[in-house]
Amino acid sequence: MTGPAEAGLAGRVALVIGAGSIAPGIGIGRAICLALARDGAIVVAADREIAAAEETCAMVAEQGGQAETAEVDVLDDASVEALVADVIERHGRIDILHCNVGLGKSGPSDGTTADDWRRISDANLTSLHVAAQAAIPAMREQGRGVITVTSSIAAIRYPGFPHLAYGATKAAASHFATALAVELAPDNIRVNSIVAGLIDTPRIGVTLAKSYGDRDEKQMRAARDASCPMGRMGSAWDIAEAAAFLASDRAGYITGTSLVVDGGLSATVRQPAEI
């Protein structure tokens, strides 16, 4: 009989793509970096906005963890490939790849142009393939690896406001993880997605301000809280704890799974009454 798996990530190299925050505070990518570093991983915090990634690294350092900053443009295949190659060259390995990119355009779908759709798809989906294919050879050589994708409740149900391109590409991202997991299982490379529910992050005040009609931000947050069976949105830490678990040996037999972290939202059948 085997004993319990190790909980820690000491000595493992984790690349988090989408590690900054669009506004002051703790977004999902930032929380993931902090959680992985807390468990001992050497974190490479990559983001298009280098200042945001640097702020994440500073927070990791404050808690005594190890982190490095990297700049990446997920809409540029060469940029993504170069990022992964640089991590492998400098560290000799890559143990964890977490893709936390989430680009969208809320509002009625007739306001989303074909160019918008391609850009959102390239960010949320194509970049996953490019990053994974760049990392897989090294993971195969070292005999293990973890790839995790941040997906969304919008991938499996209507989130309460129009978000078609985002939801469609996140649904594809979840299936990407499932299909790739089966392909890579013989190589001891695990691939999973996290289906994040309505999460209270700095981003929602910036990107969703006009998605709830004429409500102000306080009313919008109240509506989102009321939509959740637990009576509140989740926090970035709820997603980060799931990410740290899936990256660890505690999840050593979990692959091809979409882990739903949504406070029960996906179990509901309708939106609540107007707030």
Strand order in the sheet with 258-261: 66-71, 42-47, 13-17, 96-99, 145-152, 189-196, 258-261
Residue 272, in any domain of the structure: no
For 199, which DSSP code? E
H-assigned helices in the chain: 28-38, 50-62, 77-91, 114-121, 127-142, 164-184, 204-207, 217-227, 236-247
**Is residue 166 among the annotated active site residues?**
yes
Residue 207, in any domain of the structure: no
CA distance 244 to 31: 10
Tokens of 258: 């979409």
Residue 268, in any domain of the structure: no
Active-site position among 158, 166, 212, 253: 166
Count up the domains in the chain and report the number: 1
What's the pLDDT score for residue 205? Answer: 66
Residue 255, in any domain of the structure: yes
What's the pLDDT score for residue 108? Answer: 86
What is the domain-level CATH number for residue 130? 3.40.50.720
Estimate to the nearest angstrom the gap between the alpha carbon of 43 and the chain centroid.
15
Provide the residue range defining the domain that includes 148.
Answer: 13-201+235-262
Task: Please name the residue that has the structure tokens 């930032």.
Answer: 30
What's the pLDDT score for residue 185? Answer: 98
Residue 164, in any domain of the structure: yes
Q: Nearest 5 degrees, angle CA 34-CA 80-CA 168?
A: 80
What's the pLDDT score for residue 3? Answer: 41
What's the pLDDT score for residue 216? Answer: 76
Residue 108, in any domain of the structure: yes
The residue type at 31: A
Q: Which helix (H) or strand (E) holds 14?
A: strand 13-17
CA distance 217 to 274: 15
Residue 39, in any domain of the structure: yes
Task: Please name the residue that has the structure tokens 């295949």.
Answer: 77
Phi/psi of residue 30, each to 5°? -65, -45
Do residues 145 and 188 lie in contact, with contact meaning Cβ atoms separated by under 8 Å? yes
Do residues 38 and 66 lie in contact, with contact meaning Cβ atoms separated by under 8 Å? no
Residue 5, in any domain of the structure: no
Tokens of 45: 């915090």
Pairing of strands 13-17, 96-99: parallel
H-assigned helices in 25-163: 28-38, 50-62, 77-91, 114-121, 127-142
* Sequential pLDDT tens for the chain (275 residues): 344 445 589 999 999 999 998 888 899 999 999 999 999 999 999 999 999 999 999 999 999 999 999 999 999 999 999 999 999 999 999 999 999 999 988 888 989 999 999 999 999 999 999 999 999 999 999 999 999 999 999 999 988 788 899 999 999 999 999 999 999 999 999 999 999 999 998 877 666 666 666 677 788 888 888 889 999 999 999 999 999 999 999 999 999 999 999 999 999 876 554 54
pTM of the predicted structure, to 2 decimals: 0.92
